[in-house]
Amino acid sequence: MTAAILCIGTELTRGELVNTNSAWLAEALTMRGFEVTALDSTDDDRERIKSVLRRLGAEHELVVCTGGLGPTTDDLTTESVAELLDVPLERDEGSFEAIRERLERYGRKMAASNAKQADFPRGARVLPNKQGTAPGFCLEIGRALAFFLPGVPREMKAMFESELVPRLPRSDALIQQVLLKTFGLPESAVNDQLAGVEAEHGVTLGYRAHFPEIEVKVIARDDSAERALCRAQRAADAVRERLGNDVVYGEGDVTLAEAVGRLLVERKLMLGLAESCTGGLLAELLTDRSGASAYFAGAIVSYSNELKERLLGVPEALLREHGAVSSPVARAMAEGARSALGADVALSVTGVAGPTGGTPEKPVGLVHYAVATPEGTVDRHLNFPGTRQNIRLRSAFAALGLLRRVLLHGLD
Amino acid sequence: MTAAILCIGTELTRGELVNTNSAWLAEALTMRGFEVTALDSTDDDRERIKSVLRRLGAEHELVVCTGGLGPTTDDLTTESVAELLDVPLERDEGSFEAIRERLERYGRKMAASNAKQADFPRGARVLPNKQGTAPGFCLEIGRALAFFLPGVPREMKAMFESELVPRLPRSDALIQQVLLKTFGLPESAVNDQLAGVEAEHGVTLGYRAHFPEIEVKVIARDDSAERALCRAQRAADAVRERLGNDVVYGEGDVTLAEAVGRLLVERKLMLGLAESCTGGLLAELLTDRSGASAYFAGAIVSYSNELKERLLGVPEALLREHGAVSSPVARAMAEGARSALGADVALSVTGVAGPTGGTPEKPVGLVHYAVATPEGTVDRHLNFPGTRQNIRLRSAFAALGLLRRVLLHGLD
């Protein structure tokens, strides 16, 4: 069964908005066994809306359409559908009341523009919207079952789950997926190391570069959900085996910082940070998810040499002799942070994020980072390409990667 | 003249990737006077690629197509175009050499899969790609001039500017825009305050919510670029006048943190931070753009009460009496950061980012923030809705907003 997604709105065709609804719907329908072959967008133009819908209704079994259900005069989706099917618009009293009540709750009166949102093409099934004023509807266009949902992502997603999923034509194939998060290998290397897994396990592997990480999606299709999940998990185990746990740091929604946080909690260790070129980014990544206070003590962002001395106790002689971007200073920063923040382990980063400030000896992209533990200190350096933002992000991830390896394998 | 954009790739129709090329191209073409009426995506399927291109070529004057030019067997765009036009593929020796040289530079050999990227439909004009291996091409399909570009955004954008723009059919209308960045008013209020500007100045206003900011785009169309720019600038002045400089903080690419940084540099002030619930986010925003060392001394991320005492000198009694999320502690943090970091001014944030940790007195979303200056300290608090990530982002922006007002208007 093929499906098409149509997003309606002049804000899309003018490029004022990046369309995230399409990808979300495409993934949701793919996971339910549909072959999505067209993602179209068109502007708020009656003739074009009719023409696209006529075509999609002739070519697909399912059409999911978002946008153009709002109260203003440029919201034309409902009227266009009625014209296309040559049926009148009819007021739905239940929707009318729901809209009136919703507006009243926010102290607003019902205007003619809002009343229009309670009108639907004759024969349509109305789909209630619990998150906003615009209800959706579904009906048949050509050979397709066509759903019309509002364009606001939050409302669209809630209605997809509550109204659309229960009415979807059942697909025979059931799809399950396991998402593995990896860091430390480039996409081509991940790809090469996983050659043959698809054939061996009867699954599809999808790669998504989520800079600087690579996500590996293991997708299995079978005639029961249990069998599909079992197959996906066996293949995921094979992926873990091939890439190793140093590269695969987690499954599902977890971030690298969170995975590091879980290791710290397991080992009952508090972490402190000394940041220079990453300027707070590492602290931000570590506190992005809740629960960080169980492993994160705090951070000192020492952007100047003076603060490296004053707050982290980096000896002035070290800074003079080796410069702020150097192995000895990275080590002294980590050790200083451990003591200043009263932490069990500390991570430091110092580098040249650019785009200015590079020298032949210390070019833009050179980054030193270190982990200090009660057993000793280890440091590494790398030379990153890319923009300032890329260099900062890579530095933060590289430092987290080093900390993760130290937590897993010790100093060595 | 109407234009269509077609993005080809199964990663799009499966929803593995949010398509940002479409919006970028739609905006670029709109700004050059085209009416973009269709943004389509289809999967890497020969018959469907041919069918969509046939349709778009019949309906539009311009078709811009991205994706499917890569070396692998599922990249089918070039072959499909040749089939559609019933012409053979022909090797372009210049492209072949350029690909070989590029691969050699990275120590790789030319494979058959790479050689395929030098084959083009007979009659196509080849468009060189300076950023990657896949060249593009253009030719006529139906009544449209059709351009084929790689799907990698960086390569696509560079080729759009260097290869496509000079070959675009000239539009009579010339469009210019001014982008104003605002913070502090919700979209509906910005909208209401700007009612009438469009009619008065003969421009179009576009609103883009870039959480938690609102961008206002002033678009003017005229028969010369100079006249269009002049009109856009006059309307932008009217927008500034209506919203005020406290709301409109800058023009073009500038961020709020950067705008604050410029004020600090003008006033020769160094800034220090004391962060709790924002966990380094504020420091990250302030150091995201280069040049931060001219105004940013450093930050102390004191996630625990102990570190608030130890590093910021917040009295233990204050923490005990008022709690970490309180006006007195926010003030003490800012004053402590000023002194610990040797800064002229300091900004502090302390709050409940959630989703756990809220109480009836101090619910999730309550955030106190303060600015300490040589002349004294001012603090504010707000109650933010939303997720942990939203609350952190709103808190950071609210704190930057307060600092900006203090820099512009002094304490009070």
Q: pLDDT tens across A336-348, in order?
A: 999 999 999 999 9
**Chain A, window 333-352: residues with a beta carbon less than 8 angstroms from a chain B beta carbon:** 340-342
Contact B301 A36 (CB under 8 A): no
- Indicate which of A16, A219, A310 best probes the interface with B, i.e. most B CBs within 10 Å of its own CB: A16
Q: Is B71 helix (H, G, I), strand (E, B) or coil?
A: coil
- Indicate which of B276, B303, B310, B333 best probes the interface with A, i.e. most A CBs within 10 Å of its own CB: B303
Token digits for A207?
């790669």
pLDDT at position B377, please? 98
Cα separation, A288 vs A307, in Å, equals 26
Q: How confident is the model at residue B88 (pLDDT cuts 50, 70, 90)?
A: very high
CB-CB contact of B9 with B67 (8 Å): yes
Contact B388 A26 (CB under 8 A): no
pLDDT at position A171, please? 64
Q: Find the mean pLDDT for residues A391-400.
A: 97
Token digits for B294?
């001219």
Contact A38 B20 (CB under 8 A): no
Nearest CA in chain B to A24: B15
pLDDT at position A110, please? 81
Most confident stretch, A148-157, B170-179, B203-212: A148-157
Q: Residue A151: which region, alpha, beta or left (left: phi > 0; alpha: psi -120 to 50)?
A: alpha
Cα separation, A157 vs B247, in Å, equals 32
Q: DSSP assignment of A369-402, as one string? A: EEEEETTEEEEEEEE--S-HHHHHHHHHHHHHHH
Kindly tell me if the per-residue pLDDT of B173 is higher than 70.
no
Contact A284 B286 (CB under 8 A): no
Q: What angle do CA B138, B144, B148 make, to 5 degrees?
A: 30
Indicate the average pLDDT of chain A: 93
Q: Is B8 helix (H, G, I), strand (E, B) or coil?
A: strand
Task: Return all residues near B237 (Cβ < 8 A) that are at least 6 apart.
Answer: none
**Chain B, window 8-47: residues with a beta carbon less than 8 angstroms from a chain A beta carbon:** 11-20, 22-30, 36-43, 45
Token digits for B47?
């018959």
Closest CA to B295 of B332, B348, B330, B258: B258
Contact B287 A273 (CB under 8 A): no
Token digits for B265?
């540099």
Q: DSSP assignment of A359-376, as one string? A: -SSS-TTEEEEEEEETTE
pLDDT at position A185, please? 87
List CB contacts (< 8 A) between B287 and chain A: 279-281, 301, 303
List CB contacts (< 8 A) between B206 and chain A: 11, 14, 16
Q: Cα-atom radius of gyration of chain B, to the nearest Å?
A: 27
How confident is the model over A83-96, as pLDDT tens digits? Answer: 999 999 999 999 99
Dihedral sign computed on CA atoms, order A16, A18, A19, A20: negative
Strand order of the sheet with strand B174-182? B204-210, B213-222, B174-182, B248-251
Q: Find the mean pLDDT for residues B150-166.
A: 94
Kindly tell me if the per-residue pLDDT of B331 is higher than 80.
yes
Query: Is B309 touching A (CB cutoff 8 A)?
Result: no
Question: What is the three-state SS of B276-323?
Answer: CCCCCHHHHHHHCCCCHHHCEEEEEEECCHHHHHHHHCCCHHHHHHHC
Cα separation, A362 vs A347, in Å, equals 21
Cis peptide bond prior to B315, omega within 30° of 0: no
pLDDT at position B298, please? 97
**Chain B, window 201-240: residues with a beta carbon less than 8 angstroms from a chain A beta carbon:** 206, 208, 217
Query: Is B293 touching A (CB cutoff 8 A)?
Result: yes
Kindly tell me if the per-residue pLDDT of A119 is higher than 90.
yes
How confident is the model over B250-309, as pLDDT tens digits? Answer: 999 899 999 999 999 999 999 999 999 999 999 999 999 999 999 999 999 999 999 999
Contact B302 A304 (CB under 8 A): no
User: In Å, how far from its chain's centre is CA B122?
Assistant: 39
Task: Return all residues near A62 (Cβ < 8 A) that are at least 6 apart.
Answer: A1, A2, A3, A4, A29, A34, A144, A145, A146, A147, A168, A169
Query: Is A266 touching B (CB cutoff 8 A)?
Result: no
Contact B20 A25 (CB under 8 A): no
Q: Is B371 helix (H, G, I), strand (E, B) or coil?
A: strand
How confident is the model over A166-204, as pLDDT tens digits? Answer: 998 776 667 888 999 999 987 778 888 999 999 999 998
The C-alpha of B262 sits at a distance from chain A's nearest C-alpha, in angstroms, of 17
Q: Is A4 exposed, middle or buried (0-12, 13-18, 19+ CB in 10 A)?
A: buried
Nearest CA in chain B to A27: B15
Contact B19 A25 (CB under 8 A): no
**Chain B, window 51-110: residues with a beta carbon less than 8 angstroms from a chain A beta carbon:** 52, 55
Q: Is B172 exposed, middle or buried (0-12, 13-18, 19+ CB in 10 A)?
A: exposed
How confident is the model over A218-245, as pLDDT tens digits? Answer: 989 888 888 999 999 999 999 999 999 9
The C-alpha of A15 sits at a distance from chain B's nearest C-alpha, in angstroms, of 4
Q: How confident is the model at residue B172 (pLDDT cuts 50, 70, 90)?
A: low
Domains and CATH numbers, chain B: 2-167 (3.40.980.10), 174-251 (3.30.70.2860), 257-409 (3.90.950.20)
How confident is the model over B212-246, as pLDDT tens digits? Answer: 898 998 989 888 888 999 999 999 999 999 999 99
DSSP A133: S
CB-CB contact of B343 with A303 (8 Å): no
Nearest CA in chain B to A352: B290
